[in-house]
Chain A
Amino acid sequence: MNRTTKLVVILLLVVAAVCSLYIFRASTQTSAQQLQIYQHGTLIQTIDLAHVQEAYTIELKGENGAYNTISIESGRVCISHASCPDQVCVHQGWISDSTLPIVCLPNEVILEITGGGADLDTIAG
């Protein structure tokens, strides 16, 4: 093998190694579920659901005494109490993937999970 050949072989090996490392890192990262909490259309908090150690709740206050109590556990989330009249968000129960976000229309709150198991872009209905 001459010098050029050696250089190219080494180059290919380096590229292959860098790529493998990148792919490995990318594939181990995508399993994380990110919970995004929106209120009145703005993202107010992002929580890494996969790394929640202990269950806890967040009290989300709105105008005129409106509130939503968000229960967060490892890998899933729900609205446990809410001031809204229809209680649709409470009845939806736990969600753990991106299939359908929890939406509280009266209080303008959205809980959305990205990067979970379901590989849907959105849902019609």
Chain B
Amino acid sequence: MKPVFILPVLTMGLLTGCVTTQTPSASSQIFAMDTVMSLEVYGDGAQAALDNAVSTIYHLEDLWDVTEEDSEVSAINQSQGQPVPISPETATLLDQSKGLSQLTDGALDLTAYFAVSAWGFTTGDYRVPSQSELDALKTQIDYTQLSLNLEEQTATLPDGMRLDFGSVAKGDLGAILSEQLQNQGITSALLYLGGNVQTIGSKPDGSLWRVGIQDPSDPEQAALGVVEVSQKAVVTSGSYQRYFEENGETYWHILDPETAAPARSGLTSVTVIGENGTICDGLSTALFVMGLEDGISFWKQHPELDLDIIWVEESGNVTITSGLETTFQLTEAQSDREVTVIAP
């Protein structure tokens, strides 16, 4: 027996004392797009990739901030019906959003900005508009009026309508960052973009990311359940995320484009899990507006999207799609809830 044989084994055993598990190679917490974002990147080249990701976030924030005078979205909003040149990122986002609006028959509509600000959700000066005001506002919501020229990279929006990317911006940011990080050779990363979660690959040890789903009835404390994913976006739209109360009535930020008022569909949150963050983000809003029954039939009609969905009703009942049967679990404190599984 040669000692040469012993050495590698022993040193390997001892060396591992210095290695810590699961510490991100690079991480960052930043404030952007009016929310908090936390990025964890693992593996070689993590720091450089993370730095690029952060500058992409700030760049897209500049383009898509509706409250900023010289952003692209403001330029479209102030165009008075004239074509406005837009960047490739904005063109792609608008194109995808229009596609989602068509797919959901207008349940997602980016042109609801006038209504959103009338309710005060943009500034925090909340108020309940009168019925006649709402009747006027809802005529100003119509995604079909937005026209895109992808060859010349221009967008045209009629005067009297206003765009807002709020319902898709963070999801699209996740999709863009995911692609960008992977192009730089990153195979494992966790992006938390103000409630939206985008995972790249699996955890460094190969296991799945454990993503908690917030409990709409007690969003600040315990999670409702956990879903295990890899290479997926997890996006929730919930009435608890932004709301105000007036005269005993609760009004939240997810508006029904048909009424220009908060969508009352009997749901408190919808979580969409899929490969593409833009689709997940846009559809989580649209599915919230649609309600449970229409949402289920939408899911059944569109297997090509390859999505998994979690619906939480006001009653507390949870409905999940069949793909989540093994990967979704209620947390212990929530285990008495009723969970219905929908098959395709």
Seen from chain A, the residues whose Cβ lies within 8 Å of a Cβ on chain B are 3-4, 7-8, 11, 14-15, 18-19, 22, 38, 40-41, 85-86, 91-93, 99-100, 103, 105, 108, 110, 118-125
Contact = CB atoms under 8 A, between A and B. Distances in A.
A60 to B, nearest CB: 15
Given A99-B212, A105-B35, A125-B241, A41 B30 contact: yes
Interface string B1-42: 100001001100110110000000000111100111010000
B116 interface: no
Contact of A105 (B36, B197, B226): B36
A120 B226 contact: yes
A54 B241 CA distance: 35
B29 A110 contact: yes
9 contacts: A4-B1, A15-B13, A22-B13, A100-B212, A120-B226, A121-B211, A122-B211, A124-B214, A124-B234
A120 B213 CA distance: 10
A125 B13 contact: no
Given A7-B1, A123-B212, A124-B195, 20 more contacts: A3-B1, A15-B10, A18-B14, A40-B31, A41-B29, A99-B221, A100-B212, A100-B220, A120-B211, A120-B212, A121-B210, A121-B211, A122-B38, A122-B190, A122-B192, A124-B196, A124-B197, A124-B234, A124-B236, A125-B236
Contacts of A108: 31
Nearest to A2: B1
B221 to A, nearest CB: 7
B271 interface: yes
B6 A11 contact: yes
Given A7-B1, A110-B29, A22 B16 contact: yes
B213 A121 contact: no
Contacts, number: 96
Nearest to A96: B221
B106 interface: no
A99 B269 CA distance: 18
What is the size category of the interface that chain B forms with chain A? Answer: 35 or more
A100 B238 CA distance: 16
A80 B109 CA distance: 40
A110 B36 contact: yes
Contacts of A8: 1
Contacts of B222: 99
Interface string B229-270: 000001110101100000000000000000000000000010
Interface string B176-202: 000000000000001010011100000
A99 B223 contact: yes
